[in-house]
Amino acid sequence: MFRVFRSDWYQKKFDKLEKAEQERIVKFEQHLKEQPYNGKPLGYDFFREKKFDEKRLIFLVYETHKIVFLVTITDKKAQQTEIDMIKANLDVYKDSIKKLSEKI
């Protein structure tokens, strides 16, 4: 069983969504605990997205720590910019997850 964590950036975008969208996303987040590789890979097996209507949830899967880290929610227009930014900062996310897993 994996643990699922939200980035601050993800949480801010999540809070702005309508209640129905939030409920749908929460169900998906719960599903990730059992099937963390659900969704489409984005260049790496551990870097994935899940499409909901016009929105995309972008997340990272850390097998060694059994953690799914939800990075952002985006739309098609901003998708590539967000993906490029995340790829450029993979080491930063990895360090953050390592520290988080040590606290737990």
What does the pLDDT look like over 8-40, one tens digit per residue?
A: 999 999 999 999 999 999 999 999 999 999 999
CB atoms < 10 A from the CB of 42, how many? 18
Q: How many domains does the chain have?
A: 1
Contacts of the segment 47-54: beta carbons below 8 A, 24+ positions apart: 47/86, 47/87, 47/90, 49/79, 52/21, 52/24, 52/25, 52/28, 53/21
What is the per-residue pLDDT for 53?
85
pTM of structure: 0.93
- Listed residue (67, 26, 61) closest to 41, CA to CA: 61
What is the per-residue pLDDT for 100?
85
Domain hosting 43: range is 3-103
Task: Give the domain CATH number at 44.
Answer: 3.30.2310.20
Residue whose entry in the numeric block shows the structure tokens 């098609």: 76
Rounded-to-integer distance, Cα 74 and Cα 54, Å: 9
CB atoms < 10 A from the CB of 100, how many? 15
CB atoms < 10 A from the CB of 88, how many? 9
pLDDT band with cut points at 50, 70 and 90 for residue 102: confident
Per-residue pLDDT reduced to its tens digit, 48-101:
999 988 899 999 999 999 999 999 999 989 999 999 999 999 999 999 899 888
What is the per-residue pLDDT for 104?
77
Q: Pairing relation of β-strands 67-75 and 47-52?
A: unpaired
